[in-house]
Chains A and B, each alone.
Chain A
Amino acid sequence: IQLTQSPSLLSASVGDRVTLSCKGSQNINNYLAWYQQKLGEAPKLLIYKTNSLQTGIPSRFSGSGSGTDYTLTISSLHSEDLATYYCYQYNNGWTFGGGTKLELK
């Protein structure tokens, strides 16, 4: 299964509502997770099974979707959210999307 993330680069301001997209080449059956990676750090799990928030992750992060189309939403962008975000499917093997880099406008 191939994952396509859009946009590849997103410019936003602190306080903005931000939406990142991930599209699978076939049905993912909600086995979709999201990771955040800051520069020089390992990825961090944010969301699993489409919309389950990992322990310790702020509630401004949320996930949704079904079938082939999934979304990560940050309800109000904080400066510490600037990072690259990867979607990841585990319905059929394990595949990462190409990433969306979130930068300050």
Chain B
Amino acid sequence: EVKLQQSGDELVRPGASVKMSCKASGYTFTDYAMHWVKQSPGQGLEWIGTIIPLIDTTSYNQKFKGKATLTADKSSNTAYMELSRLTSEDSAVYYCAREQLYVMDAWGQGASVTVSS
């Protein structure tokens, strides 16, 4: 069974950074790209970026360049996303999702980030 287990919810101060994880199981981690998606409260879905773990290649939505950094650890089958210089606009639920043939076919449970002093 394909499973993406995300790290827990975070409460962070404005201006700080947060790094969240997405541990994959049930498939060969390096065979698939991993996407990250943002969902602001009561809003729709925004594509943040994607990483190809096999070759550590990343692609970002222009809106999130400089905000999000995607990495992957092949030894632990885990993808990471770090968000920097956090503001209230970054408060959202963030999902990781596996890509199969350009479609996100399996999703993590989501991780909530709340930016507040």
Contact = CB atoms under 8 A, between A and B. Distances in A.
Interface of A: 31, 33, 35, 37, 42-45, 48-49, 54, 86, 88, 90, 93-99
Interface residues of B, number: 19
Nearest to B103: A48
B102 A90 contact: yes
- The list of the 10 closest CB pairs from A to B, nearest first, reads A42-B107, A90-B102, A96-B45, A94-B47, A48-B103, A99-B44, A98-B44, A33-B103, A45-B105, A42-B110
Contact of B107 (A43, A90, A95): A43
B102 A86 contact: no
A99 B105 CA distance: 18
Nearest to B96: A42
A42 B103 contact: no
B62 to A, nearest CB: 10
B44 A86 contact: yes
A54 to B, nearest CB: 7
Given A43-B107, A48-B103, A86-B45, A94 B35 contact: yes
B29 interface: no
Contacts of A44: 107
Interface in B80-108: 95, 97, 101-105, 107-108
